[in-house]
Structures are given as structure tokens and as C-alpha cells.
Amino acid sequence: MKKAELVIIPAPGMGHLVSTVEFSKHLLDLDSRLSITVLVITPFAPSVGEYTRSLASSDTRIRYLDLPRVDPPPPQFLSSPEKFVTVFIESHKQHAKDAIIDLVSSESNSNSTSKLVGLVVDMFCTSMIDIAHQLGLPSYLFFTSSAAFLGFLLYLPTRYDQVGTEFKESDPESIIPSYVNPVPTDALPSFAFNKDGYASFSGHARKFRETKGIIVNTFAELESHALNSFLDDQTPPVYTVGPLLDLKGQGNSQSNRAHRDKIIKWLDDQPQSSVVFLCFGSLGCFGAAQANEIAVALERSGHRFLWSLRQPPPQGEFAMPSDYANFEGILPEGFLERIGGRGMMCGWAPQVEVLAHKAIGGFVSHCGWNSILESIRCGVPLVTWPMYAEQQINAFEMARELGLAVGMKVDYRTGGGDVVKADEIETAIGRLMEHDGEVRKRVKEMGEKSRMALVEGGSSLASFGRLIKDILGNKS
């Protein structure tokens, strides 16, 4: 019997690839009648390419096909990262179609062991839904962020049809069905205020409704209100399949092994739940002024800490943050000597493995959705310090909607010129590290629910079952 094959098209960013690959592995673990091919768009960062190559060698059940390299859009699109990514991915559309037609052609051969039954596209890859229409295939959306943020994006076209423009800083709070509370304007993502960014995501959201189903990396117990908000509108069926996490750290390259070993050895020597972990994602970085304030706060707090501090790219350059060659020039004079063994500085860090370590007691985070899910899964409370993308509204959801984080900042934005002062950071860390605090208790409880979601009888496993049934139904 031929297998039912899915073609999956992820966006070329680490946060999107990790959960996409974990989703693929879960599908294959759950049903041997499925087959998966991933179309790989050449990533912006070399580390992302290294990650996909390591995955291809570690799990041979998934086939990876590299699409031909396409030059990025001209610099004027940099005014909106969302438009830049959207245009870049859309420029791969013909290459993706050609690859899929080749697959269909090869599968029409009687010797083929699989039959293509659908496309799964990333939230940034909605232009690829047109290929599914043209080839008479169903499509599914793979949404790598929260159900609440999905609701925000679905709200954008409706609002635009009513108002005709992007948000303004002076706008009042917004009533968005996927959030319990009115959402303050300062908690909205930066793209909401940018004409091109708003238009890009509004366009994506309109395409979401053309799919046969929306697959979300969340679990029902975490976002029950947001999920219930989809029941009364024209949203396609929503499948909650999370938390999808790379708990084994397969994204850790060989070049990072020595850094990993040094960090874990240091953590092994620290008391249980005593260490504050500060880490801000693949794009998170700080210059001297902000690094100085964090250092002062950490020194005054008295808490042990592991701090992943990365260097911003040169002004005006489109590049990833890099590790500092040394920290002497960026931190207050004598800081490293004064804190001694109480703290450890690093560049890259194996985030999931660190969060799972018994020594970690709290997490100061940029509130990327993968990081939030990792923190919950490990039962580690976090402090909100959003920087870019949808992180501001993630921080709002975690701190104000769900009570699962200490809300230090909601409106901080990379490049905005703001410097968070040491007093504010120190106060937030103090609240974070309260061992009998309400936030810590709630995160521990939700962490247990997250672990149960993907085991027998769990909500996400049941959702996977419904999704697989729907996919296999396409075969006939």
C-alpha cells in the first residue's frame, strides 16, 4: 500500500524549522502510513543551514530537498522585516512548484511507494497555498506561534476593512476575540504600526482561511480561551499539537559542543533552583549601555546567574548577532572579578538543556514562542523582556492573561533607544526567584499539563489523531 505523503514548506528561520521538524517526527512516530518531504529554502544564517544538514543525517525518515538559491529582495524592503521575508519566500514559488510537480511525476510511476496528499505551509509561506490550488491538493497551515497570536492575525483583515489603515501609537486598547482582556497598544507587535508589515500579515491571514486546517504549536490547557474564540467564525479546523520542542538539542552544532560542556559543568556545581538564566533568542543582543544596567542589577541581586550576552551587528548591516570576543570592554570595570564563581558569562547557550537543569530557578526571556513553551515544559518561571516579532503580545499573554510570567517589560523594542534600568531589572529578578511565589506555582502546574498533552489520553495527542485521520482521508 502506498504511503500518504505530505510536502512541508517551512520558513528559513531557526524558530520555524525546529518546531516544523519536531511536528514531522511526531507524525511519523504516530502513523507509519505517512511519508514527509521538506522543501528547504536557503536560510539567511549559516547556523540554520548547519541545523538542517545535521537533521538530515540524524533522522533519515524525512526527506529534505534544497530549493535553488534565490537572491534576497532589494534593501528598501528592510523597512519591514515581514515584507522582506514574505517577498523572499514568494520568490521561491516557481522552484517549489517545480519540485512538487517532479514529486508527483515520480510518484505516478507504479514503483513509487507514496502518493502526495497535501501541502503543509508555514505562516510566512502562504503564497505556496496557490500551488496546492493549482495542483488540486489540500493545504494545511503550520503556525509556529500561539493560538492567541493566530487570533490577532485573523483579526487584522477585519480591522483593516473597517479602519483602512495600520495601527497608530495613539490608538485605544483593542478588543481582540482571542484575548480575554483588552490589548493595550504598547503590547502590539512593531509590524502593526508599519504599513508594509501590517499589509504583509493581513495578506497572510486572508490566505490562512483558504487552508483545510490550521496546525498550532500549543496545547489546549494553555490557551483554552483563544481556541474557543475560533469556534464562532469561519476559521478552518484548528489542531493543537504542542508543545513541539527539540528536547534533545539536535540543533546544537559540533562547534558548540565545547561551549555546551563548559556551561553544563558549571551548572552541575550550583545549588538546585538557584540560578537565573538570561537568554534572548537568536536575534537578541545588547550594546554597552544596556549590558551595563543588567550587570549592575545582577551584581546587586545577589543571585547566581548564567547570562548569554551577544553582540549587535554593525549599525545598518543585515546580519545575525555574534558572540563577543571577550566581555571586559562591555561590562562594568571589575564586574567579572567581583561576581567570581557566582555567575557565568557565555555567548551561545544550549537553551533547552539549560532550562531543564535542576540548578535553574528562573528565566529572563525575549518571549519567543519556542522559548515560552520550553520554559513552561521545564517548569521554569520567566521574566518578560520582548524585543521583536510578536514577542510584545506574547509577553502580554504570559504575564497579564495567563499569570505565567513576571511582567517586567511589554513595550521594549530592539533599536527603540530604550534602556531598561538596573532597578527595574533587579526588582523583576527578585520577584522571579521567590520560591513560594504564585507565578512559580502556576508554571509548575502548567508544566505538568504540557507534559501530559502529548502522552496517551492527552489533548495534543488526540488532536494529532484527528489531523492524521483528515490527512489520510485525502488519499482516497
Task: For residue range 145-186, list pLDDT tens digits in order.
Answer: 999 999 999 999 999 999 999 999 999 999 999 999 999 999
CA 31, 32, 33, 34 dihedral sign is positive
CA 328 to chain centre: 32
Q: In terms of DSSP H, where are the helices of 7-80?
A: 14-30, 46-58
pLDDT of residue 255: 62
pLDDT of residue 257: 81
Q: pLDDT-derived band of residue 77, with 50, 70 and 90 as boundaries? A: confident
pLDDT of residue 126: 98
Mean pLDDT, residues 94-112: 88
- Spatial contact of 107 and 119, defined as CB atoms under 8 Å apart: no
Q: pLDDT-derived band of residue 59, with 50, 70 and 90 as boundaries? A: confident
Q: pLDDT-derived band of residue 219, with 50, 70 and 90 as boundaries? A: very high
Helix (H) or strand (E) holding 215: strand 213-216
Q: Is 190 left (phi over 0), alpha (psi -120 to 50) or beta?
A: alpha
- Residue boundaries of the structural domains of the chain: 3-242+454-473, 258-450
Counting DSSP H helices and E strands in the chain, the numbers are 17, 15
Q: Is 281 left (phi over 0), alpha (psi -120 to 50) or beta?
A: left
CA 352, 344, 392, 301 dihedral sign is positive
The identity of residue 163, as a single letter, is V
pLDDT of residue 12: 92
Count Cβ atoms below 10 Å from residue 128 Cβ, excluding itself: 24
Relative to beta strand 310-311, strand 34-40 is: unpaired
Q: pLDDT-derived band of residue 91, with 50, 70 and 90 as boundaries? A: very high
Closest CA to 275 of 338, 335, 363, 350: 363
Q: pLDDT-derived band of residue 192, with 50, 70 and 90 as boundaries? A: very high
CATH superfamily of 258-450: Glycogen Phosphorylase B; (3.40.50.2000)
Please determine, for residue 197, whether its predicted confidence score (pLDDT) is greater than 60. yes
Relative to beta strand 310-311, strand 322-323 is: antiparallel
- CB-neighbour burial class of residue 318 (10 A; exposed 0-12, middle 13-18, buried 19+): exposed
pLDDT of residue 53: 64
Mean pLDDT, residues 372-388: 96
Mean pLDDT, residues 410-428: 88
Please determine, for residue 316, whether its predicted confidence score (pLDDT) is greater than 70. no
Q: pLDDT-derived band of residue 250, with 50, 70 and 90 as boundaries? A: low
Side-chain half-sphere CA neighbours of 459 within 13 A: 20
Q: Comparing 3-242+454-473 with 258-450, is the CATH topology the same?
A: yes
Position with higher pLDDT, 329 vs 127: 127
Mean per-residue pLDDT over the chain, rounded: 92
Mean pLDDT, residues 280-293: 91
Region of poorest pLDDT, from 5-9, 101-105, 229-233, 426-430: 229-233
Closest CA to 12 of 118, 117, 90, 104: 90
pTM of the model: 0.95
Mean pLDDT, residues 424-451: 96
How far from 304 is each of 268, 298, 342, CA to CA, in Å? 13, 8, 5
pLDDT of residue 34: 97
The architecture that CATH gives domain 3-242+454-473 is 3-Layer(aba) Sandwich (3.40)
Mean pLDDT, residues 315-340: 86
Position with higher pLDDT, 283 vs 8: 8
DSSP 113: S
Could you tell me which residues come within 8 angstroms of residue 203 by beta carbon, excluding any fewer than 6 positions away? Answer: 86, 126
Q: pLDDT-derived band of residue 243, with 50, 70 and 90 as boundaries? A: very high
Distance CA 115, CA 113 (A): 7
pLDDT of residue 328: 84
| Terminal C-alpha separation, the chain | 12
Distance CA 354, CA 360 (A): 7
Cell, residue 194: 508599519
Distance CA 299, CA 370 (A): 29
pLDDT of residue 56: 61
- Spatial contact of 122 and 9, defined as CB atoms under 8 Å apart: yes
